[in-house]
Structure 1
Amino acid sequence: IKAFISAILGHDPTGKNIDGGILGIVKAYYGCVEAQGRGSLHCHLLVWVEGGLNPNDLKDRVLKDEEFKSRLIDFLEDTISTCVPDDVPDAPSVQSSTFHPCSVRGAPVDLVGDQLQAASQKDFHNLVNSCQVHAHTKTCYKYCRDGEAKFCRFDLDESNVQPDTIVNPETGEIELKCSNGLVNSYNETIIKAVRCNMDIKFIGSGASAKAILYYITDYITKTQLKAHVAYAALEVAIGKVGCADDTTNDAALRAKKVLQKCAFSMISQQELSAQQVCSYLMDLEDHFTSHSFRRLYWSNVERYINDIEPSPECYVTSPIDESVEDAIDVDIDEQEDTDLPDVDIEDVTCPATEDEVRVTVDPSGVLVADTDVLNDYLFRHKDLVNICL
């Protein structure tokens, strides 16, 4: 990934590279490594290009400036492809005709002239045909209900053909031409270099930005452990603790043992592929970024916003299944009325009202004013009023 970012994208942290890469001058990027259902690792990468406009400015330029619109369309059509390259039947033999294109290199290096060009075109055709052409399976229609028309959840279909790139005159949304509705968008230089399946999209409108932001957020925050599996693991762990012959009288210690056993039970149910295990053991990066970031503990901010403007969608009480309730309601040592000693618990705060000041105790036992990122932001100096959280 680092070689790809440096050689293909041409990102230079020193800013001395004024030529850029295949997308232009890259000023920022953020990539997250994820595992597919079968365990293979892949990277989701967002790239910010120098000179890129925000969605509103881009919309205005596209709708008002014909020259700018033409240059932008030319750039996008040159960068993003949605067709299968022409085959060359009489081209010299290439390994991708016999083996899977992802497992071999490109055209033979000992060829020259027209022979090399024909072999490269043949290999390019094999690569795109094997990696980018979508074949429908039952997972494409898993969200379709019985009796309803079936549609591919990946929005890939033979009918999705767009002869020319068009711009919506009202929204400024750019719909790129699509030669083959079953081909995932790709970049010729990238796919020839990495030799694997890929997808590339241009995020130019507010609607597209919101959609991709929702997708990324939903994707990276989803848990690998299904809810019913987690509840089952917790039930077994709590049951074992309740049946254990433990003479420990320290309630805090017993509580910690419960949490420990619950955590171990849930971790034991976590599915990890060999690639993920190797990546963790070798301490390989799980994300790639051009910038450094600070942690933002969102729970306090979300709680504050919800107190001001409650969200009916996010805070809906749902009925709890009796079996789950029974699993949770296991009395470990029948000490319901025993006051537990103080235990360090992170990120548990009681929101103060507008007229209250929260205090905490420092390690020496002295009461001090409590503060956090939320309060620091709410009561920031007037010179910082334009700074976003």
Structure 2
Amino acid sequence: MHRGTFERDARLLMTITVEKLRRAEQEEEQKKPISDAAVRLLRRHIQATAGRVIGSDQSRYCLRSQIWSTSVMLNPPSLWLTINPCDLHDPIAQVFTGENINLDNFVSTLGPTKDVRAKNIALDAYAAAKFFHFMISTILRTLFGVTVTTYQVHSETGVFGQLSAYFGVVESQGQGSLHLHMLLWLKNAPCYEEMECRLTYPEFREDVQKFIKNNIRAYLLGFESSDSIKDIPNEVEVAYSRPPNLEAADYNEQIQVLEKRITRAKQLHTCEFCRCLVPSKTGALKCKRRAPFPRSQDDYISENGDWGMKRLHEYMNAWSPAISINARCNNDIKLLTNSKATSNLSYYITSYQTKKQGRNFNMSAVMAKGFAYHTQTTSYLDDLRNRQRLLIFRLVNTINREQELAAPMVMSYLMGWGDTYCSHHYANIYWSLFSKHLGDVFPQFHLTRERGVTSGKDGSKSEKEIDLCLEKAKSDVETQTSDTDDVVILEVDDNG
């Protein structure tokens, strides 16, 4: 509101009436764009303000710049991972709810029963949230080999090799349980140009195939068809167990049996209406998970970056063996080769990872209710700026009251666990400050705000001098952040 353009915006916001918001409500119900310019402007201001409200959709959009800035610093991500811990049946979750379970000498038949376990989790949102964050933190530390301190990122060799960074976003499902979408950056992974070159070498493709075979699976013996899978018992409560003992003589045989039991119960996809089947543009139902999945007789990767794992049954989701065996939960994993074939996939995954949460209210209708209250209680304010400031404040709080958050997610915010897992710290650098810094260092140049380019006094532009300016600014920024391993974000404001 301290911007010079807000005075103009405030006068346009003064033209809003309850009738205009009711019209916008009808347009939103019909999934049409808002026609009134003043209402559109009000929504933009509210979205900008709500970006500072924890858990809001707008705050999740801000995470995208952090993910993209990590890709700028460390090359594009290498792996996409989804982890869905099973809070209903995992004995660790029941210990957090207060159940007396001996995990050192675990016997699944001693109880509590399936119904009691579900009731315990439903009544104790704190235990559900604590279990989720305990599992994710343990996976990051033990399976991925990454330990994050205040100023450093310590990375050891994990199940995927050595990681240079990770970024995960927590999301709640319809039943309220939490799951995680995460991007992983492998250390020393090739950049886009280098990957395009290396994929032409058979030796490199063989190494990638070995990586896929060890870490990304969609087939085990017995998963050839729907008929063969029916012969394998479906153990719904398979998570109510503990991983095999590493010191057991038959450890390898035990994990093979456990992996088959878990993948049979957790990784077989079944298309159901209102869960994954959604109507297409033509009116036909299609699976939003893109099932049936493509089948393949072997793990493969081509020169153009197309890849796949061995899959004989078209409804088997991919999984990471290490996560399935140790966490005993549903998970998904994809390889991002950073080639032309997966560049669009990386952008889609970034957008999907930070997508807004589902909601069942009409935003324009909520705004109309809050606006009606505002017009009745602001007659004592004569200053235009203060009236509009109060309007935005009230509407943001009105919308925030209608925001739907699962109880475990609320507990995550209250306990300070948050809704993100990231290995690095981030700092915002706005374009206006960046251009001012360039002007202070190089007074002979000025930045034209209209085009966002560097020009000389006579209007000429020297590419070499521009590069020198940018290198100088980058050097200064790196000097300030080198001790904290921060990743710098460049955000462009409304003026370019």
In the superposition, the TM-score normalised over structure 1's length comes to: 0.66
C-alpha distance in structure 2 between counterparts of 1:71 and 1:127, whole Å: 28
Structure 1 pair 97/119, CA: closer, same or farther in 2 (3 Å)? farther
C-alpha distance in structure 1 between counterparts of 2:351 and 2:431, whole Å: 14
Residue 295 of structure 1 aligns to a residue whose secondary structure is strand
Q: Which one of 10, 14, 18 corresponds to residue 145 of structure 2?
A: 10
Structure 1 pair 281/122, CA: closer, same or farther in 2 (3 Å)? same
The answer to whether the aligner puts 1:210 opposite 2:344 as a matched pair is yes
C-alpha distance in structure 1 between counterparts of 2:182 and 2:370, whole Å: 39
Structure 1 pair 354/127, CA: closer, same or farther in 2 (3 Å)? closer
The answer to whether the aligner puts 1:133 opposite 2:265 as a matched pair is no
Does the Cα contact within 8 Å between 1:33 and 1:42 map onto a contact in 2? Answer: yes
Residue 58 of structure 1 aligns to a residue whose secondary structure is helix
Question: 1:274-285, aligned counterparts within 5 Å?
Answer: 274-285=407-418
C-alpha distance in structure 1 between counterparts of 2:357 and 2:283, whole Å: 31
Shift of 1:203: 0.4
The answer to whether the aligner puts 1:75 opposite 2:208 as a matched pair is no
Question: 1:1-389, aligned counterparts within 5 Å?
Answer: 1-11=136-146, 20-63=157-200, 65-84=201-220, 86=222, 100-107=237-244, 112-114=248-250, 119-138=254-273, 139-145=275-281, 148=284, 150-157=285-292, 160-169=294-303, 171-204=304-337, 205-222=339-356, 224-225=358-359, 229-244=362-377, 246-297=379-430, 352-353=449-450, 381=469, 383-384=471-472
Shift of 1:236: 0.7
C-alpha distance in structure 2 between counterparts of 1:300 and 1:221, whole Å: 29
Instruction: Return the structure number with greater helix share.
Output: 2
C-alpha distance in structure 2 between counterparts of 1:261 and 1:82, whole Å: 51
C-alpha distance in structure 1 between counterparts of 2:153 and 2:393, whole Å: 48
Q: Which has the larger radius of gyration?
A: 1
Once the two structures are superposed, what CA deviation does each residue of 1:50-84 show, in whole Å capped at 9, x if it has no partner?
23112332232221x22222122112111111024
Paired residue type of 1:76? I
In the superposition, the TM-score normalised over structure 2's length comes to: 0.53
C-alpha distance in structure 1 between counterparts of 2:246 and 2:449, whole Å: 74
Does the Cα contact within 8 Å between 1:84 and 1:180 map onto a contact in 2? Answer: no
Instruction: Return the structure number with greater strand share.
Output: 2
Instruction: Give 2:461's aligned residue.
Output: none
Structure 1 pair 8/235, CA: closer, same or farther in 2 (3 Å)? same
Structure 1 pair 61/379, CA: closer, same or farther in 2 (3 Å)? closer
Does the Cα contact within 8 Å between 1:81 and 1:188 map onto a contact in 2? Answer: yes
Structure 1 pair 118/379, CA: closer, same or farther in 2 (3 Å)? closer
Shift of 1:126: 2.1
C-alpha distance in structure 2 between counterparts of 1:7 and 1:81, whole Å: 21
Residue 200 of structure 1 aligns to a residue whose secondary structure is strand
Structure 1 pair 52/40, CA: closer, same or farther in 2 (3 Å)? same
Residue 44 of structure 1 aligns to a residue whose secondary structure is strand
Residue 125 of structure 1 aligns to a residue whose secondary structure is helix
Shift of 1:118: 5.3
Instruction: Give 1:327's aligned residue.
Output: none
Residue 369 of structure 2 aligns to a residue whose secondary structure is helix
Structure 1 pair 121/264, CA: closer, same or farther in 2 (3 Å)? same
Q: How many residue pairs get matched?
A: 305
Does the Cα contact within 8 Å between 1:84 and 1:129 map onto a contact in 2? Answer: no
Which sections of structure 2, spanning at least 5 residues, go unmatched?
1-135, 224-232, 435-447, 453-465, 476-488, 491-496
Residue 47 of structure 1 aligns to a residue whose secondary structure is strand
C-alpha distance in structure 2 between counterparts of 1:125 and 1:287, whole Å: 31
C-alpha distance in structure 2 between counterparts of 1:176 and 1:3, whole Å: 27
C-alpha distance in structure 1 between counterparts of 2:153 and 2:379, whole Å: 63
Does the Cα contact within 8 Å between 2:160 and 2:215 map onto a contact in 1? Answer: yes
Structure 1 pair 104/66, CA: closer, same or farther in 2 (3 Å)? same
Shift of 1:255: 3.1
Does the Cα contact within 8 Å between 2:305 and 2:340 map onto a contact in 1? Answer: no
Paired residue type of 2:350? I
Shift of 1:9: 0.7
C-alpha distance in structure 1 between counterparts of 2:163 and 2:313, whole Å: 29
Residue 48 of structure 1 aligns to a residue whose secondary structure is strand
Residue 83 of structure 1 aligns to a residue whose secondary structure is coil
C-alpha distance in structure 1 between counterparts of 2:431 and 2:349, whole Å: 19
Residue 186 of structure 1 aligns to a residue whose secondary structure is coil
C-alpha distance in structure 1 between counterparts of 2:143 and 2:252, whole Å: 21
C-alpha distance in structure 1 between counterparts of 2:290 and 2:330, whole Å: 17
Does the Cα contact within 8 Å between 1:59 and 1:173 map onto a contact in 2? Answer: no
State, as a whole percentage, how many aligned pairs show the same letter.
22
Instruction: Give 1:304's aligned residue.
Output: none
Larger displacement relative to structure 2 (186-195 or 30-39): 30-39
Does the Cα contact within 8 Å between 2:277 and 2:287 map onto a contact in 1? Answer: yes
Once the two structures are superposed, what CA deviation does each residue of 1:350-374 show, in whole Å capped at 9, x if it has no partner?
x94479xxxxxxxxxxxxxxxxxxx
Structure 1 pair 354/202, CA: closer, same or farther in 2 (3 Å)? closer
Paired residue type of 1:277? V
Shift of 1:233: 0.5
Paired residue type of 1:125? K
Residue 239 of structure 2 aligns to a residue whose secondary structure is helix
Shift of 1:385: 8.6
Does the Cα contact within 8 Å between 2:296 and 2:310 map onto a contact in 1? Answer: yes
Does the Cα contact within 8 Å between 2:359 and 2:403 map onto a contact in 1? Answer: yes
Instruction: Give 1:91's aligned residue.
Output: none
Instruction: Give 1:305's aligned residue.
Output: none
